[in-house]
Amino acid sequence: MSRLLATALSLRRDPRVQKLPPYLSFLCVLVGLVWLLLLPLDDYARKTYISENALLPGQVHTYFSGSESHVLRAYRSELDVLASEEDPTRVNDKIEEILKGLGVKVGRQSYTYNAAGRAHSGENVYGILQAPRGDATEAIVLVAAIRSLNGQVNRNGVALALTLARYFKRWSLWSKDIIMVFPPDSETGTQAWVDAYHDAHDPRYVAPLPLKSGALQGALALDYPEVDRFSALQIIYDGVNGQLPNLDLVNSVGNIASGQMGITGFIQGMRHHKGTYKHRLTTIFRGMVKQSLGNSWGPHSSFMPYHVDAVTLQPYGKGFHDEMAMGRVIEGSFRSLNNLLEHLHQSFFFYLLMQRDRFVSIGTYLPSVMLLAANFSIMAIYLWVQSGQVDADAQKKAGKQPKASATEIAAVTVERSLVLPVAIVAVCHALSAVPLYVLNNTTAQLLPTAFAALAAMSTAAPFVLSYAVLPVYKPTQQQILLMKSLSLLLLGMALSTLATLNFSLAFVIGVLTAPLSFVGLSRNEPLRWASATLLTLLAPATVIYSVVAGVGLDMGHLLEQASFGWTVWGMYTPIVVWTIWWPAWTISMVSVLC
C-alpha cells in the first residue's frame, strides 16, 4: 500500500502526467462519439418488453365494430359540414351537443397565446365520461384535435373519438374517468387544457376549466385526417424538451397494434425499417434531432411536463386497415390503461428507440454524452493547473530538481489573479440575455433581421472584446488561461446536468463545442488563425444559418417557432443555445485572439 502511495505521489509530479490531459480529453471525445455509433448493435440494444404487469396489452377482446361504423360515418358527415365553415365555434357546438346527448359532461375553455407578435387563440371543448363506478380520482385522456398535425381537418380522428365516447359509455368496467379533449389545433389547444387542468395556467390568457376529474394516468392522441384505409400506424412519442413517455405506454400501444390487430407500428417516420444497422442508426438520429429541438411533436407532447404519459397515433399510407381497426387499437389501449393500479412508473422514462421493439436504456447511452462533458472538465482542470505554474522557461532556468520537497512544490505555484477572468466570464454569460430578450420579444416579420443583426454582433463581439476592451486591462497569459478554464468548467458542468434532462440536446451541444477544448493551446501564429477560422465556422449563428440552408427551412419560420415554443410550451432549447453554447464559444474565441 505504501509503495502504491509513493508511486501515486511521485506520479503527480511527473511532467509527463501534466502533459496528459489534452490527450485524455481528446480520447473522451472520441470514445463518446464512437459509443453512440455502437448503440444500434445487438450487443448494446435490448428488445422492448412490458414491465408493468397490470397493463396486459392485447389480452382483452375488443368489440368496437359492426354497427358502430354507421355511427362513425354519421358523425363524420356532421363534422364535414361544419369543419369547412369559418366559425370554429360551430364545430364545438356540434361536439358539445353530441357529447351531451350521450350523457357525457361537457366543458369548454378558451385561450389566447401571444407569441412573436401573433395571437393564437382558440376554444377547447372536452367531455368527461365519468367512470360508472369510479370516484373521480383518476382519469385517462383521448385527444382528437380538430386540425391535425399537417393542418388538415382531423376528420376520422374527431369522429372516431365521438363514436368511442358513445361506445365506452355502455361499458361499466372503467375504473378511471375518460376525458375526450377536442382542441382546435395540435399545437396550442392541449397545452392550454393541460395547464389549466393542473392550475398552472396564466389566467390572463387561458381560462380555467369548468369541469375536472382526477389525476391523469395517461393520454392518447389521434391524428387521423385521411379517410382512406391505412397500412401502418406511426407512434409519435417525443414530448416537449425531449421528455419521453414511459416506455411501457409506447410498447403497449405498439403491441396492441401489431400483436392483436396486425397493424405494423413504426416510429420516427421509418415506415420501412429493415432492422439493419443503418436503419437503426437513422432512427436513433431522427429521435435525437427531435429531442434536441425540444418542441412539441403532436397534441400528446404537452402532457409530458406534467408527468402524464402520452403518445400520438397517426395512421399512415394506403393499405387495408379501416377506422374501426384504429378504434379497436384505442379500445385495447384504454382497456390496458384502465387496468393500471399505479401510475406508470415501472419501465423506462429515458431511452432511445431504434426500432419499434428495440431500445437502449439510459445506463447504456448516457456515458457517451458524459464523456463529452468530462472532456471539458478535464481541460478546465488542466488549464487551471497550468495557470498556477511558473512559465516553463523560467522553471528551466531555475534548474529542475527531481526530488523537490513538498514545500518547494508549493513555492513554484504562483498566485492566480481571478478578478478579471471571473468578470469576463460573468459578463459574457450575462450578455446572453440580450439575444434571448430580442428573439422572444420581436414580431415575426422582424425576426430574421433581428437574428442577422445578432449574428453579426456575436461574430464581432470576440474581436471587440480582445482588441478593444481587454487591452485596457492588460490581461496576462495566466488570466487568459483562467478565463478559458472557468468557461470550460461551466460548460462541462452545464452539459453533464443537461444530459440527464435532455440527452440529445446535451450531445449535440457537446459535439459542436468539443473543439473549444483544443483551440488556443498553442501560441503558434498560423495555428491560432486556423483555430479562429474553425471557431467562426462553429459559431452558434453560423451553425444555425448553415443548418437552415442545408435542410431548406425558412429562417423566419424557425425563429418564430422558437419564440412560440418558449412562450407556449416552455421549450428551453434557445436558452441552452444562448446561455451555454454562445458564452462558451465567445470566450474560446477571445482566448484564441488574445
Residues near another protein, by CB under 8 A: 5, 8-9, 12, 63-71, 73-75, 77-78, 101-103, 105, 130, 132-138, 166-167, 169-172, 198-200, 207-208, 210, 212, 214-215, 306-307, 341-343, 345-346, 363, 406
- Give the orientation angle of helix 582-593 with respect to helix 419-431, to 10 degrees: 130
Give residue 127's identity as a one-letter amino acid code: G
CB of 207 to another protein, least distance (A): 8
**Grid coordinates standing for 247?**
416506455
Residue 131: CB minimum distance to another protein, A: 8
CA nearest to 317, candidates 233, 219, 200: 233
Which residue, 268 or 339, is less far from another protein as judged by CB? Answer: 339
* DSSP run (H or E) holding 11: helix 2-11
Q: Among residues 199 and 228, whose Cβ is nearest to another protein?
A: 199
User: Residue 187 has what DSSP assignment?
Assistant: S
CB nearer another protein, residue 177 or residue 185 = 177
Computed from CA positions of residues 292, 288, 371, 48, in that sequence, does the dihedral angle turn out positive or negative? Answer: positive
Closest CA to 570 of 115, 109, 142, 236: 115
Taken as a whole, the chain contains a residue count of 594
Residue 248 CB, nearest approach to another protein (Å) = 12
What's the closest the beta carbon of residue 476 comes to another protein, in angstroms? 26
Query: Longest C-alpha distance within the chain, in Å?
Result: 97
Comparing CA positions, the residue from 153, 186, 163, 173 lying closest to residue 81 is 153
Judged by CB, which is closer to another protein: 125, or 548? 125
Give least dist CB 278 to another protein, A.
30
Closest to another protein by CB, 422 or 493: 493
Minimal distance in Å, beta carbon 407 to another protein? 8
Would you list the DSSP string of 116-184? TTEEEEEEEEEEEE--TT--SSEEEEEEE-SB-TTSSB-HHHHHHHHHHHHHHHT----SSEEEEEE-S
Residue with smaller CB distance to another protein, 301 or 442 = 301
Exposure b/e, 389-404, CB count within 10 A at least 16 = b = eeeeeeeeeeeeeeee
Residue 406 CB, nearest approach to another protein (Å) = 5
**How far is the C-alpha of 221 from the C-alpha of 297, rounded, in Å?**
11
Cβ proximity to another protein, 282 vs 346, nearer residue:
346
Q: What is the Cα gyration radius of the chain?
A: 28
Least distance in Å: CB of 453 to another protein?
39
- Positive or negative torsion for Cα 295, 300, 305, 307: negative
C-beta of 217 vs 513, nearer to another protein: 217
Closest to another protein by CB, 5 vs 119, is 5
Instruction: State the burial class of residue 450 (Cβ atoms within 10 Å of its Cβ: 0-12, 13-18, 19+).
Output: middle
Cα 539–chain centre separation = 22
Q: How far is the CB of 52 from another protein (least distance, A)?
A: 10
286-304 as b/e: b if 16+ CB within 10 A:
bbbebbbbbbbbbbbbbbb
CA-based end-to-end distance of the chain = 47
> Between residues 214 and 319, which has the closer beta carbon with respect to another protein?
214
- Give the nearer residue to another protein in terms of CB position, either 206 or 521: 206
Beta carbon nearer to another protein, 173 or 434: 173
In the β-sheet with 358-361, what is the strand arrangement from edge to edge? 46-47, 358-361, 351-355
Helix (H, G, I), strand (E, B) or coil at 247: helix
d(CA 185, CA 153): 9
* 417: CB partners within 8 A, 6+ apart: 476, 478, 479, 482
Q: Which helix (H) or strand (E) holds 5?
A: helix 2-11
**Is 67 or 401 the residue whose CB approaches another protein more closely?**
67
Whichever of 87 and 342 has its CB closer to another protein, that residue is 342
The strand order across the sheet containing 118-129 reads: 105-115, 118-129, 177-182, 138-144, 215-222, 310-321, 230-236, 264-266
Q: Which helix (H) or strand (E) holds 312?
A: strand 310-321
Shortest Cβ distance from residue 269 to another protein (Å)?
31
